Amino acid sequence: MSATTQSPASKQPGTGKTTGANRAAGRAATTELVSWKAGVGLGLLAILGTVLFGFLANTKSAGFRIAEARDPNASSTAAWVTLVVALAAAGYLGYRWISQRREGGGVDRWIPATTIAAVVVLGLAALGVAQVEKITVPSMVFGWICALLLLGLAGYAILLTLQRRRTPGWLGGLFAVVFLVGFMIWIVAGGRDPEPSISLGGLMAGAVTLAVPLVFGSLSGVLCERAGVVNIAIEGQLLLGAFSAAVVATVTGNVYVGLISAAVAGALVSLVLAVVSIKYLVNQIIVGVVLNVLISGLTSFLFSTLLTADPENLNKPGRLQAVDIPFLADIPIIGPILFRQSLVGYLMYVAVIVVYVGLFHTKWGLRVRAVGEHPQAADTVGINVNRTRFINVLMGGAIAGIGGSFFTLVSVDAFSKDMSGGRGYIALAAMIFGRWNPIGAFLAALLFGFADNLQSIITIIGSPVPSQFMAMLPYALTVIAVAGLVGRSRPPAADGIPYVKG
Amino acid sequence: MSEKTTPDPLATGNNSAPEPAPTQVPGGTTSEAVASDVALDTAGGQMPPSAVPAATQLRGRDHRDGDGSVLHQIFTGNAMVSFLSVLLAIVLGGILMAVTNPKVAVTAGYFFAQPGDLLTEVIRPYTALVQGSIFNWAGADLAAQLYPITETLTVATPLICAGLGVALAFRAGLFNIGAQGQIIFGALFGAYVGFAWHLPIGLHLLVVILAGLVGGAVWGGVVGLLKARTGAHEVIVTIMLNYIANFLLLFLLTTPAFQRKGSTNPISPFLDSTALFPELLGPQFRLHAGFLVAIAATAFVWWLLNRSTVGFEFRAVGANPNAARTAGINVARSTILVMAIAGALAGLAGVAQVSGTEKYLSGGVAASIGFDAITVALLGRSTPWGTFFAGLLFGAFRAGGVAMQAQTQTPIDIVLVIQSLIVLFIAAPPLVRAIFGLNPRKKKTTTSGTAGSHTGGVKSGAAA
């Protein structure tokens, strides 16, 4: 979805076809191609942004603290090394981007995103090298700058639509970034303090931590749905994983055994899902919903009867401590966010990479996707459709179960009723938001984690927006995203349809 | 499939996908019979299966084989499966309670000396459940004895209304998880009209009901609109709108317009007495006229689905949207309309809560009714009267569960377990039959069954 690959393709059918005899048909085609959704949507958001960041701006300044390093010397060294590496990476990627563009061919899909990531890392490393401790911005001035930028971008989008050209992808991305910056400045400046400020490092690190169960859950969804089985039972898998991690870790006195048992518990939920929906061909959504209720009832019942009666021996699992990765954890800002995680956190990175590579770069992945897209064809070439689905659903359950152990082994060190709190459903949304792609699901989950953490931080510093609206934010965002952005994306073709051989 | 005995694997699931008619499969196993049903149900693998279990929805196509005796019909029929599902769920729930009850372990120690003690201990929670939901034989007078059944009907009222909303959406092929949010909106609108407007008796209640219907319809209609216009998946949208509605409710309850004067709690003022449902059996029972409204709503949905053009369109869209579109049905319009009506029904459940049971609006007005409604609709197989009786059953579980928790300290969560097990078993009839050994074909398949299906295929092929 890069800007450069999209724009030439969209221009040619857009403007080229309107000439000639079939003008009417061409016009119909162009009106269908260029929708007003982007222009109108961005326009409305820009007006909202102008009202909030401009007219309703606070006279106070907004401060963003950069997380302080534990060891200044190591941190400084790490910052310099990161700076050099990021500079080299950004330079190389930028060079490849430009040279590929000059050659006229399409730019590799991964290049723009990676380049931007490298530039961001470069900027953060530069902040670390310069040993900046706090950035303070006058909210009024920056609010108006952001508002004007938003209006300009929206105007450009509308202009493009008027010319029957498609709004390029980068415009939406840039708009989102500017909106986010303006929003952050506005909301922080609205805090109760005379000089309100928040910790940027803490915000990011908290976002990653909160995203961990979501990432595991959405990976479970990706594995199942790519094979053609709808997995609504993520919530149940997380919850039973959390429960079994707590109980088994307490009984055995070993958190790692608890972690493994969480995976087994998640797979157990998946086993029921697989047997009932694949063998007995019951609607998968129904089985998922019912399983969620069942697990919620079962764990709540066992919690009320057994765990509360004897918490010392059944519900005191201990914690998986955060482990620093040497050197990497010393990088300012990025280090604590990415490389000061618990074992579950690192497993998350591994899982994302393994699932991505497995699904898109191995023979196994090709088979799984074939089963999810066209099971009849897959069967014809000798792939056992239902066995593939069975195995994938079990693996998905195990992954979600590990995600569930986050609740009882990392976040809180005891199980409580319904402690997954609907995050399984959010993970489902993240998977759809991420277009059934592990990397996309990971990024979407991070976004949800960010919104969640922002909400709790804002509640602490006080804000002009009632806390209920802040809490609503991730959900409203999902609705907008599902309706506006992801409408074009498409689930695997055979998703939710049981395969009947013959 | 005239001469080929092996089905063509390249038949990529249009209607020519092999569907062995039941009469042509003399020795077919149950799973084969179900498979053929599913092939029909999913248009040969092009659509997800409907919410109604495939094996049971086609009344005309019963899977009769050679020995289709009456007795066999009874033992493998729908009613039997439903009964066995409930029985199995209750037995499993009993086992769960027994395993977790320390007293059971004690009595099990002297089980052979006094087996009665163990059984009493296992059966006690269920006795309390029945006493709390149907008839309390220990009650002092008739009113106390009958109180549980009225309580069941009271609790069942919103479950039935919301369940109807979910069931209606199911029939149009939409999975409405958003009953929770729609109940909240119905309650929000209804309650506001109930305490802020002061209208004459009779009219006030009508306006409250109307407001609740509108509130639910708006929140449900949004889902339909998004689905029809942008293709957003209704499952995701409804889940998200549930959260949004909940936070909106919590916010509004802190504003002066909704918060009770002089109260720091986020609760609304009491509704005017003119806005309340009249009590049916006098003030000592909670049963209110909302139950009659629920019955009327059930009748309305039955009429809508089975006797009206709109309902026919809903069912056509649910069965196969592409075919419906080809037949000239406006699928987008149907989607929006069915979600609006489903939302209105759920909104009615919200009115039943604020105007009948609770009499004011609070953050927990919807409790978990919206999610229970999904299981109610599934248990009722998405038919109006099925949903009605499923709502009564779950109402009984809920009302009895409260009494059970008070009497025997068994957590009410066991009710959730039993409910979900019932739905799970009912959705998979072959599973239940397999557990009870009621799959009569099993015996034959070991020897002649597999061979029979092959030869049967050949024979039918030759005959055709």
Query: For residue B421, which residues of chain A lie inside 8 Å, CB to CB?
Result: 294
pLDDT score of B47 = 62
Contact yes or no for B417 and A479 at CB 8 A: no
Q: Which of A11-15, A256-260, A307-311, B46-50 has the lowest mean pLDDT?
A: A11-15
Q: What is the mean pLDDT of residues A176-200?
A: 84
Contact yes or no for B35 and A468 at CB 8 A: no
Check whether B336 has a pLDDT greater than 90. yes
Give the chain A residue nearest B44 (alpha carbons): A500
pLDDT tens for each residue of B211-239: 999 999 999 999 999 998 888 888 888 98
Phi-psi region of B382 (alpha: psi -120 to 50; beta: other; left: phi over 0): left
pLDDT tens for each residue of B423-456: 888 888 888 888 887 765 544 444 443 433 443 3
Of residues B11, B243, B417, nearest to A301 (C-beta): B417
Residue A417: partners with Cβ closer than 8 Å, 6 or more residues away: A299, A300, A303, A304
Residue ranges of B 416-445 with Cβ closer than 8 A to chain A:
416-417, 419-421, 423-424, 427-428, 430-431
A interface mutation test: which of B413, B415, B419, B439 has the most A CBs within 10 A?
Answer: B413
Of residues B42, B101, B420, nearest to A293 (C-beta): B420
Q: What is the mean pLDDT of residues A142-170?
A: 85
A62 compared with B67, residue with greater pLDDT: A62
Contact yes or no for A301 and B231 at CB 8 A: no
Q: Cβ-count burial of A254 within 10 angstroms (0-12 exposed, 13-18 middle, 19+ buried)?
A: middle
Model pTM?
0.83
pLDDT score of A28 = 42
Please say whether the beta carbons of A6 and A109 come within 8 A: no
Interface size between A and B, measured as CB pairs under 8 A: 184
Contact yes or no for A283 and B48 at CB 8 A: yes
Please say whether the beta carbons of B394 and B388 come within 8 A: no
Residue B185: partners with Cβ closer than 8 Å, 6 or more residues away: B215, B216, B218, B219, B245, B343, B347, B350
Query: For residue B414, which residues of chain A lie inside 8 Å, CB to CB?
Result: 297, 301
Of residues A296, A300, A478, nearest to B411 (C-beta): A300
Judged by a CB distance cut-off of 8 A, whether residue B115 touches chain A is: no
Query: For residue A374, which residues of chain B lie inside 8 Å, CB to CB?
Result: 12
Judged by a CB distance cut-off of 8 A, whether residue B254 touches chain A is: yes
Give the chain A residue nearest B56 (alpha carbons): A282
Please, what is the angle between helix A438-461 and helix A343-361, to 10°? 150
Please say whether the beta carbons of B13 and B43 come within 8 A: yes
| CA nearest to A433, candidates B237, B305, B316, B433 | B237
pLDDT tens for each residue of A261-276: 999 999 999 999 999 9
Contact yes or no for A285 and B48 at CB 8 A: yes
Residue B315: partners with Cβ closer than 8 Å, 6 or more residues away: B171, B172, B305
Count how many residues are written for chain B: 464
Judged by a CB distance cut-off of 8 A, whether residue B46 touches chain A is: yes
Query: For residue B100, which residues of chain A lie inside 8 Å, CB to CB?
Result: 301-302, 305-306
pLDDT tens for each residue of A399-428: 999 999 999 999 888 899 888 888 998 898
Q: How far is CA B170 from the centre of its chain?
A: 10
Contact yes or no for A482 and B233 at CB 8 A: yes
Of residues B35, B175, B235, nearest to A500 (C-beta): B35
Give the chain B residue nearest A291 (alpha carbons): B420
**Encoded tokens for B64:** 């009769």
Of residues B36, B45, B424, nearest to A494 (C-beta): B45
Q: Cβ-count burial of B330 within 10 angstroms (0-12 exposed, 13-18 middle, 19+ buried)?
A: middle
- The most confident of the ranges B70-74, B313-317, B442-446 is B313-317
pLDDT tens for each residue of A23-52: 444 444 444 456 777 778 788 888 888 888
Q: How far is the alpha carbon of A38 from chain B, nearest alpha carbon, in Å?
A: 13
**Encoded tokens for A470:** 């802040």
A147 compared with B460, residue with greater pLDDT: A147
Contact yes or no for A281 and B12 at CB 8 A: no
**Encoded tokens for B98:** 């027994």
Q: How far is the alpha carbon of A277 from chain B, nearest alpha carbon, in Å?
A: 9
Cα separation, B206 vs A419, in Å, equals 41
- Percentage above 70 pLDDT, chain B: 77
Q: Does the interface ipTM go beyond 0.90?
A: no
Residue B108, CB-side half-sphere exposure with 13 Å CA sphere:
9
Give the chain A residue nearest B426 (alpha carbons): A282
- The most confident of the ranges A167-176, A256-265, B372-381 is A256-265
Query: For residue A377, which residues of chain B lie inside 8 Å, CB to CB?
Result: 12
Query: For residue B230, which residues of chain A lie inside 8 Å, CB to CB?
Result: 37, 482-484, 487
**Encoded tokens for B142:** 């008739």
Give the chain A residue nearest B8 (alpha carbons): A502
Check whether A10 has a pLDDT greater than 50. no
- Percentage above 90 pLDDT, chain A: 30
Judged by a CB distance cut-off of 8 A, whether residue B53 touches chain A is: yes
* H-helix or E-strand spanning residue A63: strand A61-65
Contact yes or no for A500 and B38 at CB 8 A: yes
Q: What is the mean pLDDT of residues B171-189?
A: 93
Contact yes or no for A285 and B9 at CB 8 A: no
Residue A215: partners with Cβ closer than 8 Å, 6 or more residues away: A348, A351, A352, A403, A427, A430, A441, A442, A445, A446
β partners of residue A137: A62
Q: What is the mean pLDDT of residues B368-391?
A: 89
Domain-wise residue ranges, chain B: 155-392
**Encoded tokens for A390:** 């069975």
Cα separation, A323 vs A326, in Å, equals 9
Check whether B31 has a pLDDT greater than 80. no
Average pLDDT, chain B: 80
Cα separation, A141 vs B444, in Å, equals 83
**Encoded tokens for A225:** 């749905």
Residue ranges of B 81-110 with Cβ closer than 8 A to chain A:
96, 100-101
Query: For residue B258, which residues of chain A lie inside 8 Å, CB to CB?
Result: none
Contact yes or no for B34 and A468 at CB 8 A: no
Cα separation, A373 vs A365, in Å, equals 12
Provide the pairing of β-strand A323-324 with A197-199: unpaired
Of residues B42, B53, B232, nearest to A482 (C-beta): B232
Q: What is the mean pLDDT of residues B274-298?
A: 91
Give the chain A residue nearest B242 (alpha carbons): A475
| CA nearest to A246, candidates A302, A179, A207 | A302
Q: Which of A122-126, A223-227, A388-392, A481-485 has the lowest mean pLDDT?
A: A481-485
pLDDT score of B114 = 73
Rounded (5°) CA angle B180-B181-B186: 100
Q: How far is the alpha carbon of B39 from chain A, nearest alpha carbon, in Å?
A: 7
For A198, list phi and psi in degrees, rounded to 5. Answer: -130, 160
Contact yes or no for A301 and B34 at CB 8 A: no
Q: Which residue is it, tokens 């005899």?
A: A21
Q: Which of A81-95, A415-429, A487-501, B240-254 has the lowest mean pLDDT?
A: A487-501
Q: How far is the alpha carbon of A264 from chain B, nearest alpha carbon, in Å?
A: 21
For A322, list phi and psi in degrees, rounded to 5. Answer: -70, 140
A interface mutation test: which of B234, B240, B379 has the most A CBs within 10 A?
Answer: B240
Question: Which of the four pLDDT bands, split at 50, 70 and 90, describes residue A110?
Answer: confident
Q: How many DSSP H helices and E strands does chain A contain?
A: 20, 5
Q: What is the mean pLDDT of residues B278-302?
A: 92
Check whether A350 has a pLDDT greater than 90. yes
Give the chain A residue nearest B49 (alpha carbons): A283
- The most confident of the ranges B26-35, B121-130, B201-210 is B201-210
Residue A408, CB-side half-sphere exposure with 13 Å CA sphere:
34
